[in-house]
Amino acid sequence: MLSEQEKRDRQIAREIEGSSRLANGDGPLTKRERRRASKRKYEANNRERIWARRREKLALDESLRERRREASRKYKAKQRALKAMTPEQRERELHRRQQARWAKANPDCIADAQRKWREKQDPELFRKYDAKRYALHAEKIKARKLAYYYANRERIKAKRRAQS
């Protein structure tokens, strides 16, 4: 059991400790003080996180910002051009863009079509490519050419005379 003097001494020591703790901001905290400190710390961390994110956004690579600005300019120009077009032109342009999107999404189909087109540019390859059609319909093709010639004989001869 503590004497009155000791009790008083301890009380004074607690008060001194409390005042020094308040002055220095350290030492054991009460439950309420801990709760408040935790809340303040959370809010400070949250603020710091928000500002860090904003700083990151502001410090984006300049070239990236420039690319974004360029893309935005192009997009706005496209939209202005679309508004200035007649409805028919607009429809054609939208269709062209849709085809371009499809082509981007299906590169293998495009490659196949390009290969076929290249083969058709070279007559020898084209004949090989379309050999079956030529083989099956050679007589029909010849007959069609002759029929066209006989139907337009006068015009064809006049054109030849004019050339020579």
**C-beta separation of 64 from 71 below 8 A:** no
Query: pLDDT tens digits, residue range 140-161?
Result: 778 888 999 999 999 999 999 9
Task: Tell me: pLDDT of 23 over 60.
Answer: no
84 vs 116, higher pLDDT: 84
- Cα separation values, 102 from 18, 21, 99, 107, Å: 75, 71, 5, 9
Domain definitions of the chain by residue range = 4-58, 67-105, 118-164
Q: Please give the single-letter amino acid code of residue 39.
A: K
In this structure, what DSSP letter does residue 26 have? -
Query: What span, in angstroms and rounded, lies between the C-alpha atoms of 30 and 40?
Result: 15
Read off the pLDDT of each residue in 52-65 and give the average, rounded to a whole number.
75
